[in-house]
């Protein structure tokens, strides 16, 4: 009987607690970050899905020098994300430029009376394909290396000036003002899209290189269906002929 009375009093006392107090308790409760996937300790990095099977995010902390061991895991993961963004951006440009130069280089070279800078079988110059010493390519490579060095110097300055607020891959370059006035959620969504597209581009450019090396043919030939305009296919031309024929018949 005493147990029943105590339980009743406890229930009544809990019922008289203000709803705002209970809501505030729930809002102030700290989330369990261990349940959130991701290698970044603060669990707030865009497109961080926790995929790190080799444990690279912990490499410097476990096996690095004394200076690396003194760094926090936050700094380590930020540095890796910065490198991933750089490679992803470069890969997106390369994945677009690689097939375009194989398609357009012969026509452009003919129009300006210049030498075609592709290999003899029409592949893009690369370490595996050869042809990197032809024409102005070495000068272009040197210019690209100089541009990357200048970008690195600017990136280091931005990182030093930003301190703890430094964002990986943020070089202050947004000429179209895409993120101007965007909410934090929209900015994070755009960052996730950029890193995911960069990852896909890195896989794509690796596939270009390997496929051309193995087959000995340009990517625009081995994967012709991906780089041929739809109006060039006979079935599409037949469809247009049929559609316009019917339209002409009806209007006539």
The answer to whether the annotation marks 26 as part of a ligand binding site is no
| Other beta carbons less than 10 A from residue 70's beta carbon | 11
The reply to whether 197 sits in an annotated binding site is yes
* 89 belongs to an annotated ligand binding site: yes
Neighbouring-strand partners of residue 90: none
Which are the contacts of 168, defined by CB distance < 8 A and separation ≥ 6?
Answer: 78, 79, 81, 82, 85
Check: CB of residue 28 under 8 Å from CB of residue 41: no
Cα torsion angle, 132, 137, 139, 145, sign: negative
Give, as one character, the DSSP assignment of residue 130: B
On whether 211 is known to bind a ligand per the annotation, the reply is yes
73 among the known binding-site residues? Answer: no
Closest to 198 (Cα-Cα) out of 60, 101, 39, 89: 89
Widest CA span in the chain: 104
Was 199 annotated as part of a binding site? yes
194 carries a ligand binding annotation: yes
The answer to whether 84 is a known ligand-binding residue is yes
Cβ 71 vs Cβ 103: under 8 Å: no
Residue numbers in the known binding site are 84, 87, 89, 193-194, 197, 199, 211
Residue numbers in the known binding site for chlorophyll a are 84, 87, 89, 193-194, 197, 199, 211
């Amino acid at each position: 009987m005493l147990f029943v009375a105590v339980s009743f009093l406890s229930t009544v006392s809990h019922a008289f607690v203000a709803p705002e107090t209970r809501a505030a308790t729930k809002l102030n409760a700290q989330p369990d970050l261990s349940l959130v996937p991701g290698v970044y300790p603060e669990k707030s990095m865009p497109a961080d899905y926790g995929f790190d099977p080799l444990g690279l995010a912990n490499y410097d902390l476990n096996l690095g020098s004394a200076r690396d061991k003194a760094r926090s895991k936050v700094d380590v993961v930020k540095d890796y994300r910065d490198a991933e963004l750089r490679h992803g951006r470069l890969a997106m440009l390369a994945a677009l430029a690689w097939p375009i130069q194989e398609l357009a280089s012969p026509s452009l070279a003919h129009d300006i009376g210049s030498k075609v800078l592709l290999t003899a079988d029409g592949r893009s110059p690369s370490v595996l394909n050869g042809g990197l010493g032809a024409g102005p390519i070495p000068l272009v490579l040197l210019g690209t290396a100089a541009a990357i060095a200048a970008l690195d110097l600017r990136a280091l300055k931005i990182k030093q000036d930003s301190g703890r607020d430094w964002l990986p891959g943020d070089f202050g370059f947004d000429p179209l003002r895409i993120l101007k006035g965007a909410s934090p959620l929209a900015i994070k969504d755009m960052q996730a899209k950029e890193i995911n597209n960069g990852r896909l581009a890195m896989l794509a450019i690796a596939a270009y290189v390997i496929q051309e090396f193995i087959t000995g043919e340009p990517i625009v030939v081995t994967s012709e269906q991906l780089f041929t305009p739809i109006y060039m296919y006979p079935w599409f031309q037949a469809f247009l002929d049929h559609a316009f024929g019917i339209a002409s018949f009806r209007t006539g």
